[in-house]
Structure 1
Amino acid sequence: MKLLIDIADDKAAGFMEMIKSYAKVKATPISTPDAEILDEIKRIKEAFNDVERIKAGKLKTRPVEDLLNEL
């Protein structure tokens, strides 16, 4: 299993030391740009899931005219 954990910079070193003490756990820090890319990928996946739910009739939509009137 892979996890992405967001930890404050001042707590990260201690957390990494603790997590590395577990023999079967591998921890690798990622850069901020990489984390932002992963967040965008997650949002895109959620958008595709929403489209599937709309197609399946499980998520309601509203007319585009309503959206345009809000602008």
Structure 2
Amino acid sequence: MDLVLKNVKKKDFPVLKSLAKSLGFEIVEEEKPYNPEFVKEILEAEQSIKDGKGIKMTLDELRELCK
């Protein structure tokens, strides 16, 4: 059986890890990185805004787009 703990505070993690180890549980830590293509797209978009390629919109113009 697998058990997933979410929203564990950093200060509580060593205690939980120690408890699991003392009970003989296997501890597997997984990092799920962002999709590299997604990261590239976001970084390119930020750079284009810094380069002045973005557009400015009023809140009313944005609302009109979202209709």
TM-score by length of 1: 0.39
Larger Cα Rg: Structure 1 or Structure 2?
2
Give the structure with the higher percent helix: 1
**What TM-score, normalized by structure 2, do the two folds share?**
0.41
